[in-house]
Amino acid sequence: MRLAFICPEMLPLPAVKGGGIEALIDGVTPTIAGRHDLTVISITDSKLPNTNCFQGARYVRFSPSSYRASVAHYLREQRPFDVVHVFNRPRNVHLYKRASPTSRFVVSLHNEMFRRSMLSDEEGKQCINSVERIITVSDYIGRTVTRRFPEAQDKVQTVYSGVDLNRFPPAWTVKEKRQKIREKMGLTGKTVFVFTGRLKPKKGAHILIEAFKMLLLSHPDTMLMIIGSRWFSDNRVDEYVQKLHNLAEPVKDKIIFTEYVPQKELPDYLIAGNVFVCPSQWQEPLARVHYEAMSAGLPIITTKRGGNSEVVTQGVNGLLITDYKNPGAFVAAMEYILANPRRAVDMGIRGRKLAEERFGFSRVAEDMLRVYEDSLG
């Protein structure tokens, strides 16, 4: 097959500046490009040439300012691709379909891109009519499509994202490395709760800091690590990031703000931790950080929002918070983990096993290839 990936116009590929969608594309590219002719289309970046080959794929990059028009022109000028996969931009599909009418199109949704504020009724129907399949990162996201457009039901299919199982080893397999990292970071003898994600109100880091301050009153030998920045690779301090630092100020010796951590370094930070916490306040599509935490063998505390509960099961590989706006609910979950260390270890072990069975990038690539093959009939 001749395949094309059309990436969003936010971050470049490969994922030199991070990004969840971009990490997924990087993860599946070696497998897919190893079997088929794959072209990855993304935005330009000063660190990357406009065209090159990498991991068996051909990369073509266009300026963000004229991205849609440039991609459409490129599709029009090329020998038609068998399948074109548009990532997270359903409103662009109709334009690209007109540029390459004989190609089969697939769109994948990583957020609520079919909500009314993002897509008009006409644009939604144009997209549905232009694609063979609509891949969603969770059943939750699939329902956001079919509730508004019931006619899309037969085209919607969940394909869960995944993780590089080799890059994110469980802590118990790298004990010596873990010990050195914890010593370097001043974490020896501490139980470390880890947050990773963009520092935005909807991600809930402010709730976690409030909860952690309460936890410290009875558990002074704990630490909190906040991994992330306001935007991928952007460490500028905005109003919300400053708010987080202000909240942490009374216990600043107990909270580590790492700022942006490149994807290649993230595994070292995860294995330094003991428990992963995702305090999402919005309807989370299904944060890929859950897969990374599972792969690293960490028990997970997450909110029962959006698609999170589709991969985290209460008492199996983590704990689910229903009262997600209440810091006290997180304190209770964190205290449970501290009071039941054996259960916590078992959750981490089961999470790693689940990642190995269901969430490796090789499985994601196989699922995507089946979608492409089905699209061709």
pLDDT tens digit sequence for 102-124: 999 999 999 999 999 999 999 99
pLDDT tens digit sequence for 126-144: 999 999 999 999 999 999 9
**164 pLDDT above the threshold of 90:** yes
Give the residue among 39, 78, 45 at the shortest CA–CA distance from 64.
45
Other beta carbons within 10 Å of 49: 9
- The residues of the chain that CATH labels 3.40.50.2000 are 2-162+360-375, 171-358
**167 pLDDT above the threshold of 90:** yes
pLDDT tens digit sequence for 213-251: 999 999 999 999 999 999 988 899 999 999 999 999 999
Alpha carbon separation from 247 to 128, 208, 255, 328 (Å, rounded) = 45, 10, 10, 16
What's phi and psi for 196, nearest 5 deg? -140, 135
Fold of 171-358: Rossmann fold (3.40.50)
Superfamily of domain 2-162+360-375: Glycogen Phosphorylase B; (3.40.50.2000)
pLDDT tens digit sequence for 277-302: 999 999 999 999 999 999 999 999 99
**72 pLDDT above the threshold of 90:** yes
β 51-54/57-62 pair status: antiparallel
Work out the burial of residue 5: count CB atoms within 10 Å of its CB; fewer than 13 is exposed, 13-18 middle, 19 or more buried: buried
Q: Which pLDDT score is estimated for 202?
A: 97
Q: Which pLDDT score is estimated for 232?
A: 85
**51 pLDDT above the threshold of 90:** yes
Q: Which residues are CB-contacts of 366 (< 8 A; sequence separation ≥ 6)?
A: 31
At residue 109, the 3 state secondary structure works out as strand
CB 178 within 8 A of CB 271: yes
CB 250 within 8 A of CB 213: yes
Give the separation between CA 128 and CA 152, rounded to whole angstroms. Answer: 6
Q: Which pLDDT score is estimated for 129?
A: 98
Task: Report the mean per-residue pLDDT for the chain.
Answer: 97
Residue with tokens 């931790």: 273
Q: Which pLDDT score is estimated for 80?
A: 97
Q: What tokens appear for 141 in the block?
A: 């996201």
Q: Which pLDDT score is estimated for 219?
A: 98
Q: Which residues are CB-contacts of 350 (< 8 A; sequence separation ≥ 6)?
A: 316, 317
Contacts 24+ apart (CB under 8 A), 318-321: 318/276, 318/347, 318/351, 321/279
Q: Which pLDDT score is estimated for 323?
A: 98
Confidence of residue 377 (pLDDT cuts 50, 70, 90): confident
Q: What tokens appear for 329 in the block?
A: 């609910």
At residue 160, the 3 state secondary structure works out as coil
Alpha carbon separation from 312 to 65, 131, 358 (Å, rounded) = 39, 31, 13
Query: CA 151 from chain center: how many Å?
Result: 28
Give the separation between CA 308 and CA 270, rounded to whole angstroms. Answer: 19
- What is the model's pTM? 0.95
